[in-house]
Chains A and B, each alone.
Chain A
Amino acid sequence: EAQVTQNPRYLITVTGKKLTVTCSQNMNHEYMSWYRQDPGLGLRQIYYSMNVEVTDKGDVPEGYKVSRKEKRNFPLILESPSPNQTSLYFCASSKGQGPTEAFFGQGTRLTVV
């Protein structure tokens, strides 16, 4: 089954404690991205990757890091989480550039206290 898998689904952590949210896709997609979803703001792109070892900043990259060492995996790293990073996070992948369908993971609800 074609899917994007994120883990964990729910995470409560404390300010400053480094965390990683994993994302994996099984569709051999080149393009992957991370979004955060906040009420009234829709989805905002954090980082994206157009292929292995190619990553770039989206609209709200501050406080986040990513890596793309393999095509299927695109982890999101919060080196020192802060309460304003409390949000719902989605990983997405698509076949490549152009108006292609984006496939989303089920989301990770992160709370930083």
Chain B
Amino acid sequence: GDSVTQMEGPVTLSEEAFLTINCTYTATGYPSLFWYVQYPGEGLQLLLKATKADDKGSNKGFEATYRKETTSFHLEKGSVQVSDSAVYFCALSVPRGNYQLIWGAGTKLIIKP
């Protein structure tokens, strides 16, 4: 079945470091891919998305490229800030049925000053 695998956390970085959070997926058909972010005590909010192969989603300095050949959608940011500390979720949506979102387990990111 459809699934999403994320790197386990927590990931701890210093401020201004380069960030990569890996996400790979298994899906039949042509899924849309998403990154959501959950700040402490809050609900999830969409960070970025890509709907077809080679699309690049970007927002708030974060980027992710839909790589169909490697079934990946890795999240990157060139210079992280303390305010980026949160839990990041990779998810996919398959264009059939109810378009249910399939979620990764989440990766906790901790940025130290």
- Give A residues with C-beta under 8 Å from B: 4, 31, 40-45, 48, 50, 56, 58, 90, 92, 97-99, 101-107
| Residues of chain B lying within 8 A (CB to CB) of residue A56 | 98
A101–B100 Cα distance when bound, in Å, is 12
CB distance from B90 to the nearest CB of A (A): 9
CB <8 Å contact, B45 and A97: no
CB <8 Å contact, B98 and A4: no
Further pairs besides A42-B105, A43-B101, A45-B100: 4, Cβ < 8 Å: A42-B106, A90-B43, A99-B93, A102-B36
Could you say which of B98, B104, B106 has the most chain A C-beta atoms within 10 Å of its C-beta? Answer: B98
The 26 sampled A-B contact pairs (Cβ below 8 Å) are A41-B105, A42-B89, A42-B103, A42-B105, A43-B44, A43-B89, A43-B103, A45-B101, A48-B100, A50-B98, A56-B98, A90-B43, A90-B44, A98-B93, A98-B95, A99-B49, A99-B51, A101-B49, A102-B44, A102-B101, A104-B43, A105-B43, A106-B42, A106-B43, A107-B42, A107-B43
Do most interface residues of chain A lie in helix, strand or loop, or is the interface mixed?
A: strand
| Residues of chain A lying within 8 A (CB to CB) of residue B36 | 102
CB distance from B92 to the nearest CB of A (A): 9
- Which B93-113 residues have C-beta < 8 A from chain A? 93, 95, 98-101, 103-106
